[in-house]
Amino acid sequence: MKPAPFGFAKARSVDDAIALMAQQPDARLLAGGQSLIATLNMRLSAPKLLVDINALDELKRISLKDGVVEIGALVRHAQAERSAEIARHAPLIALALPHIAHPAIRNRGTIGGSIAFADPAAELPACLLALGGEVEIANATGRRRVAADAFFTGLFETALGFGDILTAIRVPAATGEKRYGFAELARRHGDYAMVGLAAAARADGKVLKDVRLAFFGVDATPVRAQAAEAEIEGGGDAVAALADDLDPHDDVQASGAAKKHLAGVLLRRAMTQLAEPRP
């Protein structure tokens, strides 16, 4: 239960981090470390080099520009929890944050780390997907943006490749007609979800449009429930439609059948939240 030996380097800038990563094919970025160091301790991974990016203040900013909230990759969960900008302009993320682990872990864990690690039962990847956000990625050749719909590609797999650094996430800022819902079931507060749901929609009179339901803890990645989304928009039976959307496997938390049932329970809760105008 101790890490295998590794080298350690502190990056002084994003470019420096990219250069350091390029020197060693078996290098890992160290951000909050709240998942990485656990896997090192358990020797589930044994990289040759850790590139510590914690000193990169340029990645610790939260800003609102042209209707988009940009959250730097190194913004810690606790910083995001205290952020008035996130509470006001990215309320879905504010709803999700208290469910993420525990205070001591939220003090270190980062937004970018959660997205890059892409645990299938984690809250923030599902929020990013529900919001139709995007991630900003830097590498030696430049910067690019990848939409959330294309970012999560498999179990702990993302569009991030060798030499890539996730530098920020970007989500559309809340407007008056936007509605959000978040619900999660976990055995212990702060544990990874048995099942969870991040939901976003736009109210148009009495109906909801642009509904995006992102379930987590039910598949290898967070997944959209598009049949249920269409039923909500059309006033149909969204919970019944989940049968077409979700096919969760059994895991240590619950059987697939139980997860499917619980997904319906969460959808009802989230639909109640979506039906209410935001304060």
Binding interface with another protein (CB under 8 A) = 1-10, 20, 23-24, 30, 33-34, 37-38, 40-42, 49-50, 52, 54, 78, 98, 101-105, 107-108, 188-190
CA nearest neighbour of 47 among 201, 198, 138, 162: 162
Q: How far is the CB of 40 from another protein (least distance, A)?
A: 7
List, in sequence order, the alpha helices (H) in 26-154: 36-41, 77-82, 84-89, 91-96, 103-106, 111-117, 123-130, 148-151
Based on CB atoms, which residue is closest to another protein, 33 or 133?
A: 33
Find tokens 């989500």 and name the residue.
Answer: 171
Integer Cα distance of 212 and 271 in angstroms: 11
Q: How far is the CB of 80 from another protein (least distance, A)?
A: 14
Based on CB atoms, which residue is closest to another protein, 37 or 258?
A: 37
Per residue in 147-166, is it b (16+ CB within 10 Å) or e — as a string? Answer: ebeebbeeeeebbbeebbbb
Q: How far is the CB of 207 from another protein (least distance, A)?
A: 36
Q: How far is the CB of 24 from another protein (least distance, A)?
A: 7
Q: How far is the CB of 165 from another protein (least distance, A)?
A: 17
Based on CB atoms, which residue is closest to another protein, 113 or 264?
A: 113
Based on CB atoms, which residue is closest to another protein, 41 or 272?
A: 41
CA nearest neighbour of 127 among 180, 187, 50, 79: 180
Q: How far is the CB of 162 from another protein (least distance, A)?
A: 17
Tokens describing residue 72:
């730097």
Quick check: 45 and 39 in contact, CB under 8 A? Answer: yes
